[in-house]
């Protein structure tokens, strides 16, 4: 992950969004300690209404994430590489 974020094409112009749900926060801390050269945004997926930022972690409802993901896929602003092993599990691809 760090190597990808440090690629010359992305250097200084990337944001790494990391799932901090469950035991994910230690992973976020490890990534931050590795200094990947881009902003790291920790996201805690919740079942509540409305998103909020507590100064360290974004708290975002699962339904909001799924709705945004669906919109990005429909607009073709987000694509999933066909050669990825799990790409066939997505509907509509």
Domain that holds residue 25: 2-80
Answering whether pTM is above 0.75, one says: no
Please give the torsion angle defined by the CA atoms of residues 36, 38, 42 and 45, in that order, rounded to the nearest 10 degrees.
-110
Q: Identify whether 88 is part of a domain.
A: no
In a domain, 91, yes or no: no
How far, in Å, CA of 47 to CA of 53, rounded? Answer: 15
Within-domain flag for 19? yes
Q: Which residues, listed in sequence order, are joined to residue 46 by a DSSP beta bridge?
A: 61
pLDDT for 81 equals: 75
Alpha-carbon 22 to chain mean position:
15
Chain segment 33-82, per-residue pLDDT in tens: 988 778 889 999 999 889 999 999 999 999 999 999 899 989 988 877 77
The strands making up 15-19's β-sheet, listed across from edge to edge, are: 15-19, 39-46, 57-61, 52-53
The number of distinct structural domains making up the chain is 1
């Amino acid at each position: 992950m760090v190597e990808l974020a440090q690629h010359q094409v992305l250097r200084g112009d990337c944001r790494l969004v990391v799932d901090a749900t469950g035991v994910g926060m230690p992973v976020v801390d490890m990534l931050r300690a590795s200094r990947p050269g881009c902003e790291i945004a920790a996201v805690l997926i919740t079942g509540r209404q409305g998103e909020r930022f507590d100064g360290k972690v974004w708290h975002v409802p699962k339904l909001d994430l799924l709705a945004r993901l669906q919109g990005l896929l429909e607009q073709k602003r987000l694509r999933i590489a066909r050669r990825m092993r799990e790409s066939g599990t997505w509907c509509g691809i």
